[in-house]
């Protein structure tokens, strides 16, 4: 079909029509022939248009898991799967991948991103984007740029040197833009060096549009637009979501009249949107299909394979693993901790209503079917962050089960809406985003099922209060201390005790108002919204000792497998980690230590997207880092534990022993001046292994790139051949010297022999996954580009490779370089 003349369409639009959109879709203008385009979250699945629940979707492994494969083919195949899933949700634009840097282990959204290393992150993100876009769906790389923390993410000002920006934080985006040409880029919420990312002239105009020559669509994060003229002038094409807050016709006209904004700029922004619609074939096919749940067997198989291949075997004393059918036959295995939870994904935009989720408990039962294995189970550790809502033993004002939910216009005592049968003691922001500038009231009569002491907590986005039988139980007089945390993970609240009598009725009223306006504070998509949660639990259940049972089961078993990690409410968008230790309050650490003391064959499987403290590491035999492997989590884990899949994952981030040794320690999440949070990236380019290379080896539990196998590999015959003035091929012979088939990521690190305090000792410059049968060998060729070993000179405003001798090393990981050779490298400079 002939291409659409977008310039002709553009000429028909009024100024107002050049800036309009909806929550998940661009707004159509039918009489001008302009269709809508639908977007969908998120980076590891296509959720569709519903925040919570809704049509089911495939859940792929998180980016941290994909990166641990060190496998560009898997990254591409997952991208294809994500694109296919996006189409089933009627969308043509996927809001992913997320590709910011793992700056600090407490980063709440690290799991959504690939790595601490910009080269690895960029190469895998590029393949992910290419895979998505091969299906006709546009990828949206995000969040541009420097979105490395969630604490005060709407306001935090990140002070970053240009060199660190260029080498660490922009580099993954540069790879994706230049190699994959994503259709869209999403700006970050935060400020960078004083400018919000959506109105940042250096990031958007100079670098993205200018130096990189990219001409796609720039959209804001949801609620991440902070100005009218400034964001339009900087290059932000699309304010998301609608209805607009910053681009109403009167605001735009006022900016034009004041000389802050030209009509030419507005026209350019609208042209980018029209070109995007054309790119996504919206003019030829303007339909937005109905959302469907399409559970493809090929996606199931890919997720299981990729999830397993991303898992990292960190410890395996005395060859305890694999725990094969033959080894386990007739034995008793204590399966403990989070074994009946499928930690498939993190919280926030990465959450999807999965087609299904396989728990480790289910995966192990399937794997050992017919092996005469006896499984026992105990959770052994309290990990809840919030207590349960009241959903049973309660009736509303009309006598039906549930609560009566009323909304009120601000200042009115007459209900605007009344809903009976509301299922629980929560007004959820995720399901009530259309409730705007209204207060809420929940009424219910609760009949206590027992005589007991109960614990209660109340949390609200805005000022909230709960009364029981006319007496105030608790009142939150101020706005939530952490609005984004309230939305996505929950925030801490005082526990209030109350003795209840069995069979007695208790009249509950829960009231909540939208957040009171605060000077200089913009809540983005949460502005004017109402959300409140009232939790409860019996004191006996809350304080119950569940560790002893787990230890006793471990003592009676031949093997003990402890499943630990972060459930979605502990590792989530909207909040950084509360602690370097596993939640909550040391309960999982105590579980592992107790079990290891009772059973010498203790295996730990940890599902987090970040490094965690491991005070029990010396007490256990085996350790697997499982990340968030997607909906096949339990099967992927069972494949690794039983040897059906030989572990081949490598860490994408350094696992330090102590938080205090991390490069950003003391500068995360920053310091407040009044209400403004500022964080200084004083570590510069020394992020991850670049930092730990300068410290003693005993500061690290496991280095970047580390990963064990059930077989062994040897390296020999390293050579480096210069193929052009600034290009080399590194060749090395890799042999599988063990007894089983396995795969390993060959890693090439390059650094100047002349060390200096300003430059890293080495950087990852190439990698390649190779699979070998037992006893076989292969020569692996890895390309190295001069641009990838250069540094940014702020003085010269160029990329620079200083001439001299360089160490070209092949490593099992960043701390174990098994072969090296010296190469004379000519000086080079590269334009930005």
Q: Which residues are catalytic?
A: 221
Are 772 and 734 spatial neighbours (Cβ–Cβ below 8 Å)?
A: yes
Give the C-alpha separation, 39 to 276, whole Å.
12
Give the C-alpha separation, 89 to 716, whole Å.
50
- Number of other CB atoms surrounding residue 372 within 10 Å: 10
Side-chain-side CA neighbours of residue 661 (13 Å): 21
Both tokens assigned to 420 = 């009976």
Element (H, E) at 176: helix 171-180
Give the C-alpha separation, 588 to 382, whole Å.
8
Give the C-alpha separation, 242 to 648, whole Å.
44
Are 332 and 374 spatial neighbours (Cβ–Cβ below 8 Å)?
A: yes
Distance set, CA 295 to CA 292, 356, 363 (Å): 9, 9, 19
Are 75 and 127 spatial neighbours (Cβ–Cβ below 8 Å)?
A: yes
Closest by CA position to 219, among listed 291, 290, 138, 288: 138
Phi and psi (nearest 5°) for 774? -60, 135
Q: 516 burial class (0-12, 13-18, 19+ CB within 10 angstroms)?
A: exposed
Q: What is the DSSP letter of 604?
A: E
Closest by CA position to 679, among listed 117, 109, 118, 147: 147
Most distant CA pair in the chain: distance in Å? 85
Backbone conformation region of residue 63, classed left if phi is above 0, alpha if psi is from -120 to 50, else beta: alpha
Q: What is the DSSP letter of 38?
A: B
- DSSP secondary structure string, 337-369? ESTTS-----BGGG---BS----HHHHHHHHTT
Closest by CA position to 554, among listed 621, 639, 634, 626: 621
Both tokens assigned to 213 = 């020559």
Distance set, CA 599 to CA 256, 334, 335, 556, 585 (Å): 73, 10, 12, 8, 23
- Number of other CB atoms surrounding residue 366 within 10 Å: 12
Q: What is the DSSP letter of 57?
A: B
- DSSP secondary structure string, 376-405? EEE--S---SSPPB--SSEE-TTSSBSEEE
């Amino acid at each position: 079909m002939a291409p659409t003349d977008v310039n002709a369409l553009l000429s028909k639009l009024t100024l107002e029509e050049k800036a309009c959109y909806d929550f998940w879709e661009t707004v159509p203008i039918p009489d001008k022939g302009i269709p809508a385009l639908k977007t969908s979250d998120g980076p590891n699945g296509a959720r569709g248009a519903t925040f919570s629940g809704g049509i089911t979707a495939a859940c792929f492994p998180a980016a941290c898991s994909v990166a641990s494969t060190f496998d560009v083919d898997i990254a591409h195949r997952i991208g294809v799967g994500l694109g296919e899933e996006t189409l089933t949700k009627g969308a043509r634009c996927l809001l992913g991948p997320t590709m910011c840097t793992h700056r600090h282990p407490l980063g709440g959204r690290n799991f959504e991103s690939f790595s601490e290393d910009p080269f690895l992150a960029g190469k895998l993100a590029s393949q992910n984007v290419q895979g998505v876009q091969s299906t006709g769906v546009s990828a949206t790389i995000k969040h541009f740029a420097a979105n490395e923390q969630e604490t005060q993410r709407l306001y935090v000002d990140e002070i970053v040197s240009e060199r660190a920006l260029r080498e660490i934080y922009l580099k993954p985006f540069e790879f994706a833009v230049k190699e994959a040409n994503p259709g869209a880029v999403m700006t970050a919420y935060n400020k960078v060096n004083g400018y919000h990312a959506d109105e940042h002239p250096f990031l958007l105009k100079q670098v993205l549009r200018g130096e990189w020559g990219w001409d796609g669509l720039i959209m804001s994060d949801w609620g991440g637009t902070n100005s009218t003229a400034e964001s339009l002038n900087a290059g932000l094409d699309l304010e998301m979501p609608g209805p607009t807050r910053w681009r109403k016709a009167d605001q735009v006209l006022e900016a034009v009249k004041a000389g802050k904004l030209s009509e030419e700029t507005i026209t350019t922004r609208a042209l980018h949107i029209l070109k995007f619609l054309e790119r996504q074939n919206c003019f030829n096919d303007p339909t937005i299909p109905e959302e469907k749940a399409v559970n493809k067997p090929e996606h199931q198989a890919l997720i299981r394979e990729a999830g397993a291949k991303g898992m990292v075997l960190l410890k395996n004393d005395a060859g305890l693993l694999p725990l094969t059918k033959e080894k386990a036959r007739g034995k008793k295995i204590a399966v403990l901790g989070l074994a009946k939870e499928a930690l498939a994904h993190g919280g926030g935009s990465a959450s999807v209503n999965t087609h299904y989720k396989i728990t480790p408990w289910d995966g192990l039962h399937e794997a050992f079917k017919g092996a005469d294995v006896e499984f026992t189970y105990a959770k052994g550790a309290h990990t809840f962050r919030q207590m349960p809502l009241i959903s049973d033993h309660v009736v509303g004002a009309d006598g039906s089960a549930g609560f009566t939910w009323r909304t009120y216009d601000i200042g009115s005592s007459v209900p605007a809406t009344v809903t009976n049968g509301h299922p629980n003691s929560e007004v959820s922001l995720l399901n009530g985003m259309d409730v705007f500038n209204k207060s809420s009231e929940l009424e219910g009569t609760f009949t206590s099922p027992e005589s007991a002491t109960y614990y209660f907590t109340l949390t609200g986005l805005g000022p909230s209060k709960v009364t029981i039988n006319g007496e105030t139980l608790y009142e939150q007089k101020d706005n939530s201390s952490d609005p984004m945390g309230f939305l996505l993970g929950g925030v801490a609240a005082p526990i209030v005790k109350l003795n209840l009598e069995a069979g007695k009725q208790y009249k509950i009223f829960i009231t909540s108002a939208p957040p009171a306006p605060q000077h200089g504070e913009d809540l983005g998509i949460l502005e004017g919204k109402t959300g409140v949660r009232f939790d409860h639990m019996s004191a006996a259940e809350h304080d119950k000792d569940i560790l002893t049972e787990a230890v006793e089961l471990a003592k009676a078993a031949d093997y003990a497998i402890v499943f630990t990690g972060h459930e979605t409410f502990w590792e989530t968008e909207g909040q950084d980690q509360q602690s370097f230790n596993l939640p909550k309050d040391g309960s999982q650490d105590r579980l592992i230590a107790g079990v290891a003391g009772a059973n010498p064959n203790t295996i730990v499987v940890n599902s987090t997207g970040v490094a965690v403290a491991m005070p029990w590491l010396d007490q256990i035999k085996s350790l697997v880092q499982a990340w968030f492997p997607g909906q096949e989590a339990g099967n992927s884990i069972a494949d690794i534990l039983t040897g059906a899949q030989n572990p081949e994952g490598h860490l994408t981030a350094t696992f330090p022993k102590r938080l205090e040794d991390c490069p950003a320690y003391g500068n995360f999440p920053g310091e407040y001046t009044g209400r403004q949070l500022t964080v200084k990236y004083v570590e510069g380019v020394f992020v991850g292994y670049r930092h730990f290379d300068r410290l003693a080896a005993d500061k690290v539990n496991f280095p970047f790139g580390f990963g064990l196998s059930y077989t062994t590999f040897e390296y020999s015959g390293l050579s480096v051949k210069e193929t052009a003035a600034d290009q080399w091929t590194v060749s090395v012979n890799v042999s599988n010297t063990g007894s089983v088939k396995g795969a390993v990521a060959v890693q090439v690190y390059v650094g100047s022999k002349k060390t200096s305090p300003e430059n890293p000792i080495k950087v990852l410059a190439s990698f390649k996954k190779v699979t070998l049968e037992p006893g076989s060998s292969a020569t692996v060729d890895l390309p190295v580009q001069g641009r990838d070993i250069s540094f940014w000179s702020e003085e010269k405003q160029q990329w620079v490779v200083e001439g001299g001798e360089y160490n070209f090393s092949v490593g099992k990981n960043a701390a174990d370089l098994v072969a090296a050779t010296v190469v004379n490298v000519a000086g080079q400079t590269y334009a930005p």
